[in-house]
Chain A
């Protein structure tokens, strides 16, 4: 595609070389209403070319041989959605256009902190007619997918190999052992590890079951029942850690549309997580609200919170904020991935806000069952 762009632009450039009024280093801040590109006349003479370039997803900036910007398509302006990030991109474009005018092919990947975080690739190539073209591409998504893929392979081998490796070592130690006490202890540990790997595999299977979907169950499920069952799942863990789970009673008439088992599993995972990452003796709040179309389950804890850098990635399979602690908390690393899939399956979503040291709030949004109003009316009547 890039070669096509270069070809089109070279054509355009041939027609436009007469117009060289805008200087390369003129202020091209996106904050100004319209950057000083004075090539309107030449582009207007070929509206199709302009429209074609504007419809690309990459930003295109063309400079003439004398170092003036003669064309800039729409996507090249405000690509990052943040004014100061755009200025940084502009700066890189200028630098590389100058390099390209000296005959070099340049490419740079800008990792912009934002927020929002963006990864932008800027490349510049000299054109055969003289002049140069710069292309700006937002590769945030792509670089994120790459990171997810690499981490997933590393993480899954960690989660599965560690317990299996432990079992192998324990079994080896066991085979040469005569002392009954030691045999007892080692076999106990083997059982623990086996349970652990079993749970991981169970969760993986559950996750792929939810992922595959199949026939989506759409029952009207009582919200208060989902909350009660989810809280029940975390009961033993919360009692052990002396954490008070406060669930706010939802009205019996509040119902959601979906699969009861999946919803309980999703909310249960959120509550369990909240309990796991809370300080001993603190509290976890579970509540539900509806606006008629959506029901929002909210799970709030006052625990350690999630570092900003990890917050976008915690819903990935096996992603761990603190790998050193993962065995201590005893999760499989799949809980939040399950929650996200359940939410997607129901046409809803799950979101999180968190500040380190202050706690986290997870919100699971699923569609409300229709006829909410009718139910309440029939009951009133």
Chain B
């Protein structure tokens, strides 16, 4: 599998993402926000966590207008896979690839801790290595992770089985405890918790390995 990790000014989980993808067996290239094109034959684009453009205006808003994001949107529209984590999730909602928006945490605090998540669907390459109801523990580190979507949108993503992960204990006020959402074609996943920071015993946990392994298995066999 060939993966590209996008780097914005202010990204800080880009290398962690590359390490996690490589550990799972992916061929990874880093791409700069000013690049107008992705490398050829990319299967997956990962949009990493961080504070792109200093979170100016709104988290992810400026990054979503960058040249590389136009290429990422085109990649997704061609049926390519995209994973957005934390700030990457915020960027994907700002591009319109994923529904809803991420608002300030309901307790107004920056939350940095490990959280337990429930796997809500296995009908995606990202969660195919799981069973529905599996619990995984990933770190969260965000100030704006409070997922918001209107009631029609919530009914739509719930009815279409597009909630990938939910929080066992809601840390940030997200609607319906939502931690991760899939696109309509199930090939774009955005999530606030960090699977790439839970892939090595040195991280304190390896629950994130299943996501990357499942992705590799699905995309290599595809």
**Is the A/B pair a real complex?**
no
Please list the residues of chain B having a beta carbon within 8 angstroms of any beta carbon in chain A. none
